[in-house]
């Protein structure tokens, strides 16, 4: 703000007594009012911007996440079998909020090299298989009650790979394989077995790590 | 002056926007939660169409939530009277559990640190439970040993009870559960 805006200087010093002082006070109040209005407007603009930043930040967190489960356990399961994460392997972070009455084994996948086939032979303990995409969130869940003749089998693929397969399928023939579309090319296959009793731990660990995951061909 | 005004708007927008986003996803979000009696659950946390806040919360840590078809997790931080759960008190968990292939009831720390328990038993499963002659459920949670089904608690401080239902038909409509369908948490006494 320049000195020209100051009404006292426009009137010229010194201030005459009486009505002129009242004018000066009114000018000062007017300036204060204008300033407050401007500040309110700027604050409102800031709040609108804050809303936009808030929404963008929440939506971007999954895409930028580097500490999510799929990133933390990306090195597990390359041997064609799921690997235990309860307890966490040395050097890897501990799974948050894990149920002490269950064991989990994970197998990471990258669909960039082609679809992944998952085969689980069920046992006597409750087994659940879930697909967790990179950036958090469950894409698919199935339990051993859906097993056919004791085997739970499905193929994980991207939408493009599914379209390709559908085009390759013989005319009129329905494929018998269960196809699951993953919305992200990377993620985790999690085999979770509930312990009925603490003594079931070794059986549950054997069941969870027996889940096979590997290329389709 | 214009630069100052612009700086004020940007600082307010970026600061408030980022801080509120961080606050909103630091814990399990308010959006999408369902409160049934003393229990809180997020029915969509394991679903494909989960909301962006839950997704951001899950992405910020090594979370592998139960899938929607796999099971359901319910968390209690307060008893039925609304008092926060405290390790200095004894609690009775009674009533019924919704239909499920199996369930476990565990003790957890809100800060997620390892618990200092008298005995290394952090959870109970339906198979380990000793039921009374009418088949009812009664678990006593206390820091000192109790007769019957004893769930050890930390000697002091806040804790959570976590009920995990495996392979349950209710996971898709957990928000419509009535409090009578879930175990009641009653405070017996306090030290």
* pLDDT tens-digit map of A187-201: 999 999 999 988 899
Structural domain for A132, as ranges: 70-215
A87 found inside a domain? yes
CA distance A16 to chain B (A): 32
CA angle, corner A205, sides to B74 and A179, nearest 5?
75
Residue A58 and residue A119 share a domain: no
**Is the pLDDT score of A89 beyond 70?**
yes
Q: State the total domains in chain A.
A: 2
A87 touches B: beta carbon within 8 Å: no
A1 found inside a domain? no
Residue A153 and residue A52 share a domain: no
Contacts of A50 in chain B (CB under 8 A): 12-17, 20
CA distance A146 to chain B (A): 11
| pLDDT average, residue stretch B170-190 | 86
* pLDDT tens-digit map of A92-109: 998 888 888 999 999 999
CA distance B85 to chain A (A): 18
Conformation bin of residue A107: beta by default, left when phi > 0, alpha when psi is -120 to 50:
beta
* pLDDT tens-digit map of A43-76: 999 999 999 999 999 999 999 988 899 999 999 9
A95 found inside a domain? yes
Mutate to test the interface with A, among B1, B16, B17, B60 (most CBs of A within 10 A): B17
A143 found inside a domain? yes
Sheet of A186-194, strand order: A83-84, A102-110, A186-194, A127-133, A138-143
User: Which residues, other chains included, contact A45 with Cβ-Cβ below 8 Å and sequence gap of 6+?
Assistant: B9, B13
CB atoms within 10 A of CB A27: 16
Contacts of A57 in chain B (CB under 8 A): 17-18, 21-22
pLDDT at A1: 43
CB atoms within 10 A of CB A47: 14
Q: Which of A138, A132, A129, A128 is nearest to B48 (CA)?
A: A138
State which residue of chain A sits closest to B57, comparing Cα positions: A136
Inter-chain CB proximity B63 and A48 less than 8 Å: no
Which residue among B1, B25, B122 sits closest to A61, beta carbon to beta carbon?
Answer: B25
Residue A181 and residue A153 share a domain: yes
| CB B82 within 8 Å of CB B35 | no
Tally C-beta pairs within 8 A across A and B: 204
Residue A99 and residue A77 share a domain: yes
The predicted complex's ipTM stands at 0.86
Inter-chain CB proximity B21 and A137 less than 8 Å: no
DSSP string, B3-72: HHHHHHHHHHHHHHHHHHHHHHHHSS-STT-EEETTEEE-TTTTSTT--HHHHHHHHTTTB-PPPTTTEE
Residue A119 and residue A55 share a domain: no
The residues in A 28-67 lying below 8 A from B, measured between CB atoms, are 38, 42-43, 45-54, 56-59, 61-62, 65, 67
**Is the pLDDT score of B76 beyond 90?**
yes
Portion of chain B with pLDDT greater than 90, in percent: 50
């Amino acid at each position: 703000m320049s000195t020209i805006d100051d009404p006292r200087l426009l009137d010229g010093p010194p201030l005459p007594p009486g009505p002129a002082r009242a004018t000066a006070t009114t000018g000062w109040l007017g300036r204060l009012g204008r300033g407050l209005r401007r500040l309110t407007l700027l604050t409102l603009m800031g709040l609108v911007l804050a809303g936009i930043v808030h929404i963008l930040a929440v939506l971007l967190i999954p895409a930028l996440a580097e500490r999510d489960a799929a990133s933390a356990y990306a090195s597990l399961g390359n041997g064609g079998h799921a690997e235990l994460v309860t307890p966490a392997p040395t050097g890897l972070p501990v799974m948050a909020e894990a149920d002490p009455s269950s064991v989990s084994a994970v197998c990471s996948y990258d669909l960039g090299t082609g679809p992944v086939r998952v085969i689980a032979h069920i046992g006597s303990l409750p087994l659940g298989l879930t697909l967790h995409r990179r950036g958090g969130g469950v894409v698919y869940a199935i339990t051993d009650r859906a097993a056919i003749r004791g085997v739970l089998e499905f193929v994980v693929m991207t939408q493009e790979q599914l379209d390709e397969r559908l085009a390759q399928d013989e005319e009129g023939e329905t494929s018998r394989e269960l196809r699951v579309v993953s919305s992200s090319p990377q993620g985790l296959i999690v085999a979770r077995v509930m312990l009925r009793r603490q003594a079931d731990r070794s059986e549950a660990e054997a069941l969870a790590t027996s889940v096979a995951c590997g290329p389709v061909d | 002056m214009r630069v100052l005004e612009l700086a004020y708007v940007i600082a307010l927008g970026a600061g408030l926007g980022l801080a509120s986003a961080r606050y909103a996803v630091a814990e399990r979000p308010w959006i999408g939660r369902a409160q049934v009696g003393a229990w809180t659950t997020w029915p969509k946390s394991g679903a494909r169409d989960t909301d962006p806040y839950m997704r951001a919360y899950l992405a910020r840590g090594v979370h592998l939530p139960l899938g929607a078809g796999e099971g359901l997790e319910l968390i209690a931080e307060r008893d039925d009277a609304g008092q926060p759960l405290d390790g200095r008190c004894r609690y009775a968990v009674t009533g019924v559990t919704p239909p499920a292939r199996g369930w476990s009831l565990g003790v957890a720390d809100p800060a997620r640190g390892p618990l200092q328990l008298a005995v290394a038993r952090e959870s109970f499963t339906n198979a380990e439970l000793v039921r009374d002659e009418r088949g009812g459920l009664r678990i006593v949670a206390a820091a000192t040993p109790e007769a019957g089904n004893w769930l050890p608690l930390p000697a002091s401080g806040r804790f959570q009870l976590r009920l995990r239902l495996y392979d349950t038909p209710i996971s898709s409509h957990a928000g419509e559960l009535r409090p009578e369908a879930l175990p009641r948490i009653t405070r017996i006494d306090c030290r």
